[in-house]
Amino acid sequence: MRKACIDLNDTLKIASLLGGDLGGGKCLHTVNLLDGSNQMKMLNLSTNPSIKEPTPEEWAAALNQCLDKAEELKYEVSRVRGRSLTES
């Protein structure tokens, strides 16, 4: 089975499913926690004070969405970077 990595990125506020054991492959799926979309958008986080921090529940939901997508694409998730964001 092909391997994948999930990256929960607190700086960009996204969860990404990345191909490869270490996440060095192509981006397979992305969840944008700022607006709930599955699209990458350029956003200047440093000048927008209205951006709220995602809750651990929102991070967990994004993680689950990436896990579901990995299963759909027949990838085995070998590691999750940033898993501590899902804990309160």
pLDDT tens figures, 19-67 = 999 999 999 999 999 876 665 555 555 556 667 889 999 999 999 999 9
pLDDT of residue 56: 96
Enumerate residues 6+ apart whose C-beta is below 8 A from 66: 6, 15, 16, 17, 29, 31, 77
Beta-sheet pairing, 75-81 with 27-32: unpaired
Q: Which domain holds residue 80?
A: 2-86
Q: How far is CA 51 from CA 12, 56, 58, in A?
A: 11, 16, 14
**Which DSSP symbol is given to 85?**
G
Residue 49 belongs to domain with CATH number: 3.30.420
The pTM is what? Answer: 0.85
Domain count, the chain: 1
For the cut 90, the answer to whether the pLDDT of residue 9 exceeds it is yes
Q: What is the mean pLDDT of residues 72-83?
A: 97
pLDDT of residue 50: 67
